[in-house]
Structure 1
Amino acid sequence: MREENWMDSNKAKKNLLIYAHYYIPDAASTGQILCELAEGMLDRFNITVICVVPSYLGTIDEQYKTKKYYRENINGVEVLRIRVPEFSKANKKSRIKNIVSYFFGAMGATFKVGKQDYVFSISQPPILGGLLGVWGKWVKHAKFIYNIQDFNPEQVLAIGYSKSKKITDLMMHFDKFSCKKSNLVITVGRDLVQTLKNRFEGKKVPNFVMINNWINEKEIYPLSSDDENVMQFKKKYGLEDKFVIMYSGNIGLYYDLENLIKVLKKFRKGYNKEGIYEPGPKTKDGREVVFAFVGAGPVLDKLVNYSKKHCFENIVFIPYQEKSQLNYSLNAGDVHWCVNAKGIKGVSCPSKAYGIMAAGKAILGVLEDGSEIRSLIEECGCGKCCEPGEYGKIAAEIRYFISKAGSPELEKMGRSGREYLEKNLTKEVSVRRYEEEILKL
């Protein structure tokens, strides 16, 4: 009887297909968000995810190299994985080949997942993510929800990734097409809403809503500095008894990290080009200052080479952390960078801010005035911000945080961020809003 009731309940749910590109165990932030969204909506939907085999860092495990498709059930979510070629994030051609393989593989996989009432796609990979949603809508005769985490070609134009106007105009044509064909566009920031409106220049704007991203505040939370796991993390990477200013996340093209690391020369510990040893700054309580970069991405090699060339002894590079270790790594930082390159306002929203706030840490924001995350930081007072490209002011903010090491002021910033997140940016609040907006269609 119980089994029959369960089957009836399952049949009563609507079917929702998600094109995710990356999904757990991959460390991509969008993959983590979509995992929590999918699992959080299982009470209202039967959910299927189409994604690639685990490959976010470019390599693929042998167990995923023999078949074209792999089926899994992860915590109640049906997952259909597509085999794609390995790639290097530093090699544009191999990256494009990988993405195109996912796109066509996902189109084929759409025929393998049965009836769907809703199709949900994100703006990753750029342009193709939206087109997959349109394809799914047509093939499945379903309603299409387009979740825009990043606007392209606006992002491409902001960093000069493509110089071809023909290419960027074509990208804009296709992504506007995806927006028009959607039943609902969901953006993740107030500034992104304005970008959507600007695209259509006062003409009919597609149906839209803004829902913030989130962090699972029950998995990421403040820990004491002497927590055993935090101490183990610090010891492993030479951060013991140091004042740690940390960047954690994708070391990619949209954050101006190549120029930000040059600012750190003012705080270097090591030999300068004249062969004179510079001891580096210390906090009032005698701790050395260390800059930690946690993650990977196409800019990582440039940062590593710069650090070596200029003989930094107080820059540490740490690999991506498994989700189970993320709370300890975030808590190992005293202050966290949250940065975007100039021109990214209204284009992208760095979700890393939510993890920093959840861990109760102060934020050093390099973000444009009026951008979603800067607005959140200023609303709750959880950090200090300056404009991208204002490198003198960025150096001044670093000095400020060093001068306040261990102070009640820094602790208050971290606490304010955590309290604001608990009230406004929890997983439960955002997931419920996704459910409500989808079921309205």
Structure 2
Amino acid sequence: MIEKVKTDKKKLLIYAHYYIPDVASTGQILRELAEGMIDEFDITIVCVVPSYTGKVADEYKKKMFYKEEINGVNVIRIRVPEFSKINKLSRVKNILSYFIGAMIATFKVGKMDYVYSISQPPILGGLLGVWGKWMKRAKYIYNIHDFNPEQTMAVGYSKNTLILNTMMRIDKFSCKQADKVIIVGRDMVETLKGRFNYRRVPNHAFINNWIDEKEIHPLSGDNEKVIAFKEKYGLIDKFIIMYSGNLGLYYDLENLMKVIEKFKDREDVVFAFVGEGSIRNKLVHYKEKHNLDNVSFIPYQDKSDLIYSLNAADIHWCVSAKGIKGVSVPSKLYGICGAQRPVLAVLEPGAEARLIIEETQCGYVTDPENYEEVEAILNKLLKEKGTSNLDKMGERGRAYLEKNLTKDVSIQKYIKEIKSS
């Protein structure tokens, strides 16, 4: 008897905000998630045209919507206005354009069985999922990468209690409407429960983010492309302490620059910042004002080149500002572990990333705003450069990733949780 091949896959709509080729970390994760689930679901992504840097290419300025297919995933892109990351009004216009466009695009995707949204843009990402649930009469999965308004409050981005209270009510509403809330850290589970005073907490699950361990893996120091990266940015024969990722408000980088300044006379050391973000210009200004010749700013690397920049470093920062525990998890930790590099972490006790680092002993950790301890750790690392201790830290991180934080492990968990919603 010939077994009938099942072809009627369930349909899944994902509101992604950013999607490849944009370099936003959530966009990269959602690309891997979507492509990893195409054997189980017929997937459609609703996102903006490539614009994470604030600029929009001419080919995406002619229509309101653009339909594409990328590696088996259907993509509907929404034209949005260009913006500046240091101009709040232009960012608001950009985000609202995406929100309204995504609502309209919902009518262009046909029947859906599941709707999935992430917590970006803040508050609006959750509302889009509710909208999709209502319009498509579908099950709704709300994936929270960052809790807001808690994140906004933690860094003092807004102190308007009316706005903050309204944001909280709206996002709690989105959580209640979700058939399942998926959070990305153990500490975030407690935040979700705390929002509801531990009573009638929405159905939820915890799944770590991940790195594709086949794409990001350790390379030898004499790898041609690693050497080429170092040569391009003046890093040859330097001990490289790297921050790779968003140069934004949630990492206390401006104060960490004051610690880095104490090492300005170390010609054998480079502090490399790889990425863009809202405070990049402030950091560059500080470097120039204080003549920090051993601080280097490097543009975002294409995803295909990320392996070389991550491997170029001897040490990687993994940091969050005070108050971010339970609110967000710095996913850059997974790339650091993938490249088998040791970690210099500034994270609150009990934070998901800190728990992983402490469990694996893959780096040194201290608390946010403990700048004296950060300086002491930097001195300790400089004394240990070239020793096997740093190599062993990186090896422990990589071993933990291969067992617990691989792409396939996490994606299978997502498939299970979506189908059981």
Counterpart residue number, 2:372 = 392
Counterpart residue number, 1:284 = none
Give the Cα separation in 1 of the matches to 2:380 and 2:130: 49
State how 1:190-209 maps to structure 2 within 5 Å: 190-209=186-205
Among candidates 75, 99, 105, match of residue 103 of structure 1: 99
Among candidates 170, 178, 181, match of residue 166 of structure 2: 170
Among candidates 208, 231, 237, match of residue 241 of structure 1: 237
State the 1:9 CA deviation: 3.9
**Structure 1, residues 234-254: CA drift from partner, whole Å, max 9, x if none?**
000000010000000000010
Task: Return the letter of the residue paired with 2:408.
Answer: E
Counterpart residue number, 1:161 = 157
State how 1:3-402 maps to structure 2 within 5 Å: 9-10=6-7, 12-269=8-265, 280=266, 288-402=268-382
Give the Cα separation in 1 of the matches to 2:399 and 2:386: 20
Give the Cα separation in 1 of the matches to 2:259 and 2:89: 32
RMSD, aligned α-carbons:
0.8
TM-score by length of 1: 0.94
Give the Cα separation in 2 of the matches to 1:403 and 1:177: 52
Give the Cα separation in 1 of the matches to 2:198 and 2:336: 37
State the 1:265 CA deviation: 1.2
State the 1:202 CA deviation: 2.4
State the 1:203 CA deviation: 1.7
Give the Cα separation in 2 of the matches to 1:307 and 1:47: 45
Give the Cα separation in 1 of the matches to 2:263 and 2:34: 44
Give the Cα separation in 1 of the matches to 2:380 and 2:56: 44
Counterpart residue number, 1:273 = none
Provide the secondary structure at the position in 1 that maps to 2:297: strand
Give the Cα separation in 2 of the matches to 1:60 and 1:400: 45
**Structure 1, residues 331-362: CA drift from partner, whole Å, max 9, x if none?**
01000000000000000000000000000000
State the 1:163 CA deviation: 1.3
Provide the secondary structure at the position in 1 that maps to 2:343: strand
Give the Cα separation in 1 of the matches to 2:43 and 2:134: 18
Task: Return the letter of the residue paired with 2:279.
Answer: V
Among candidates 389, 394, 413, match of residue 433 of structure 1: 413
Provide the secondary structure at the position in 1 that maps to 2:198: coil
Give the Cα separation in 2 of the matches to 1:110 and 1:151: 24
State the 1:312 CA deviation: 1.0
Provide the secondary structure at the position in 1 that maps to 2:21: coil
State the 1:440 CA deviation: 1.2
Provide the secondary structure at the position in 1 that maps to 2:250: coil
Task: Return the letter of the residue paired with 1:296.
Answer: E
Counterpart residue number, 1:423 = 403
Give the Cα separation in 2 of the matches to 1:390 and 1:358: 27
Larger mean Cα displacement after TM superposition, 139-148 or 401-410 = 401-410
Provide the secondary structure at the position in 2 that maps to 1:254: helix
Provide the secondary structure at the position in 1 that maps to 2:249: coil
Task: Return the letter of the residue paired with 1:191.
Answer: D
Q: Which runs of 5+ in 1 are unaligned?
A: 270-279, 282-287
Give the Cα separation in 2 of the matches to 1:439 and 1:293: 40
Provide the secondary structure at the position in 2 that maps to 1:81: strand
Give the Cα separation in 1 of the matches to 2:386 and 2:133: 54
Give the Cα separation in 2 of the matches to 1:216 and 1:21: 21
Give the Cα separation in 1 of the matches to 2:222 and 2:289: 34
- List structure 1 runs of 4+ shifted beyond 6 angstroms: none
Give the Cα separation in 2 of the matches to 1:312 and 1:261: 10
**Structure 1, residues 144-181: CA drift from partner, whole Å, max 9, x if none?**
00000000000000001011000000000000000000
